[in-house]
Amino acid sequence: MSNSFAPIDSSSYSGPSQKKRVAYFYDSDVGNYAYVAGHPMKPHRIRLAHSLIMNYGTYHLMEIYRAKPATRHEMTQFHTDEYIDFLQKVTPDNMDSFSKEQLKYNVGDDCPVFDGLFEFCGISAGGSMEGAARINRGKCDIAVNWAGGLHHAKKSEASGFCYVNDIVLGIIELLRFKKRVLYIDIDVHHGDGVEEAFYTTDRVMTVSFHKYGEYFPGTGELRDIGVGQGKNYSVNFPLRDGIDDVTYKSIFEPVIENVMKYYQPEAIVLQCGGDSLSGDRLGCFNLSMRGHANCVKFVKSFNVPTLVLGGGGYTMRNVARTWAFETGVLVGQELSSTLPYNEYYEYYGPDYELDVRASNMENANSKEYLKKITDQVIENLKKTTFAPSVQLTEVPRTTILGGTEEDENIANDMDEDENKDVRTTKRQFDARVSRDDEFEESGDEREAFAAYGIHRQTGANKRRNIMDHKNSNSRIMEAQADNSKSSQGLSHNATNTAKNDSIPETVSSN
C-alpha cells in the first residue's frame, strides 16, 4: 500500500552539537549464556554489537563500565522474594523438583531454565540499575546497556523470554531523584511488563509503539490509558504489519513531541528492541537501520538525561548492526558503511556493510488509520495534569545499589562470623579502595588506557580490586596497575581514603 508521507531525513544522525557524556555498560560474560538449543533469544548478539562498537573506535567517545551484577536484594525492589528465590535456586539439573514453581512463575517453554539463569539476569539488571544511578549522580547524560530492555517480565512471573525486568528496576532508581520519568518502547511487542508496573501512577509515563492484534503479548490497546492517578499516563499506539521508515517517523515524532510538551520528564528510558527491524525472525515491521535509529536521534535531541536499553531482536547480525550504529548516534559519531574487520566478520556476509535495508513488504498502516490513532493519543495527553509534581522526601545518601550503613554493618558482621579463619575475606578485600596517588599513571599508561577506551573522569579514583570490577579490556589495566603498585613499594597497611565513584560502597578497615 502506497502512502504519501514526508521523506525521512537520514543526513544528520550525529555531529558536534549532538555530543553528550555517554556511559556504556558491558559485561563480557553476557555472551556466554544460552537459553536452550533452537531458542530465538540469543545473548550472543550483545557480544556481536560490542565487537562492532569497539572496532569502529566508538569507545573513544564514551566511558566504558562493567556494572556490578544486580543482587537478589536489588531485584526484589520490584519482584517478589519468592520469585527471585526460585530463579536463584532452579537449574537444569534440579528443575524437575520445581515443577509446581515453574508452572506458577511461567517458567518453561518461552522462558526455559538454563545454566546461569540468575547470573544472566544479574548482568542485565545490574547494567540498567547502575546506568540509572550514574544519571542520578549527574555523571553522564546518556547511559547505554544493550543487555537490558527485557520489558515483559512481571512482578512474580517470567514472560516473553524475560525473567527480571531491568527496566522497572532502572526506573525505580531514577524515581529516587527524578519527579517524572518517561518510558518509550519501540520494540515490535507491547511493553506490557513496564506498563503494568506503573499503571496507577503519574510519576512514570509509558509510551509503546507496537504490533497489535493476534500477536504476543496481546495487550496495548489504544484505550489502555492507565487507572486512578495514572489515568492518561499510559500511551499505546497499536500498529499493523509492514510499517516503514517514513510512516513510523510520521507518528513517532508528533506523539513524542506532545508527550514532552505535556509531561516534561526529568529523565527518559528508551527501549530499542531490534525486532521492529525489517527481516527480523519474529517481527513483522519494515524499519531500516536508519529508520530505527531516527527514534534514538529524535529522543536525544530533547537534551533530557536518557537511559538507552536493548530489548528484542532475533536476527543477530541486524540487531548488532543497528545497536552499533545507534551507539554512534548517541556519541555523535558517523560510522562508515563498510564494516571493520572483527572476530564475527563472517556473520555479516555477503555485503559486509553497516546497513539493514527495508524490504518491499506491504504497509498495512493507512494514512487515515494512523491519523485517527495519533489524534486520539494527543487528545488523551491534553487531559493529563501539566508536568505533574510530587512531594519528594529527603533522598538517602546512598543509592539502592549501595544499601544503608546499618545494612553494611550487618553484612560485615555476618561475613566475619562465616570466615573466622580467614585473615582478609573477599568482602573486606572488595571494599578496599586506593588513595589518590596510589596508582599514579605515567603519560604512557594514560595513552595505553585511552587506546582501549578507558577514560577516567577528572578526580575519579581507582579500585584496588581491579579483578572484580574490570571492563572488557582490563588485562592491560591489571598489568599496569600491578607494575605501578610494585614500583612505589606500597605498604599493606596503607590507609585508604579515596571514595570509589562507580558503585557506592562502605569502606572496610582491616
- Binding residues for substrate, as ranges, are 110, 160, 314
Q: From first to last of its 510 residues, what are the pLDDT tens digits of the chain?
A: 444 454 555 555 554 445 789 999 999 999 999 999 999 999 999 999 999 999 999 999 999 999 999 999 999 999 999 999 999 999 999 999 999 999 999 999 999 999 999 999 999 999 999 999 999 999 999 999 999 999 999 999 999 999 999 999 999 999 999 999 999 999 999 999 999 999 999 999 999 999 999 999 999 999 999 999 999 999 999 999 999 999 999 999 999 999 999 999 999 999 999 999 999 999 999 999 999 999 999 999 999 999 999 999 999 999 999 999 999 999 999 999 999 999 999 999 999 999 999 999 999 999 999 999 999 999 999 999 877 777 654 444 444 444 445 555 666 666 666 666 666 666 565 555 444 444 444 555 555 545 545 455 444 444 333 334 444 444 444 455 455 544 444 444 433 333 334 333 333 333
390 C-beta neighbours (distance < 10 Å), count: 12
Cell numbers at 299, concatenated? 529522543
**Do the beta carbons of residue 326 and residue 293 sit within 8 Å?**
yes
Give the count of alpha carbons within 13 A of 269, CB side only: 38
- Residues tagged active-site: 152
Q: Please name the helix (run of DSSP H) or strand (run of DSSP E) that holds residue 322, with its range, or none.
A: helix 316-331
Report CA torsion sign: 331, 337, 343, 344: positive
* In the chain, domain spans: 16-382, 405-487
**Do the beta carbons of residue 264 and residue 222 sit within 8 Å?**
no
Q: Please name the helix (run of DSSP H) or strand (run of DSSP E) that holds residue 144, with its range, or none.
A: strand 142-145
Q: Which amino acid is at 195?
A: E
Beta bridge mates, 305: none
Using alpha carbons, list the distances in angstroms from residue 268 to 204, 252, 277, 289: 10, 15, 22, 22
Q: Please name the helix (run of DSSP H) or strand (run of DSSP E) that holds residue 448, with its range, or none.
A: helix 443-451
**Do the beta carbons of residue 244 and residue 284 sit within 8 Å?**
no
- Binding residues, as ranges, are 110, 160, 187, 189, 275, 314
Fold classified for 16-382: Arginase; Chain A (3.40.800)
- Binding residues for a divalent metal cation, as ranges, are 187, 189, 275
Q: Which amino acid is at 214?
A: E
Output the pTM of the full model: 0.77
Rounded CA-CA distance 445/467 in Å is 18
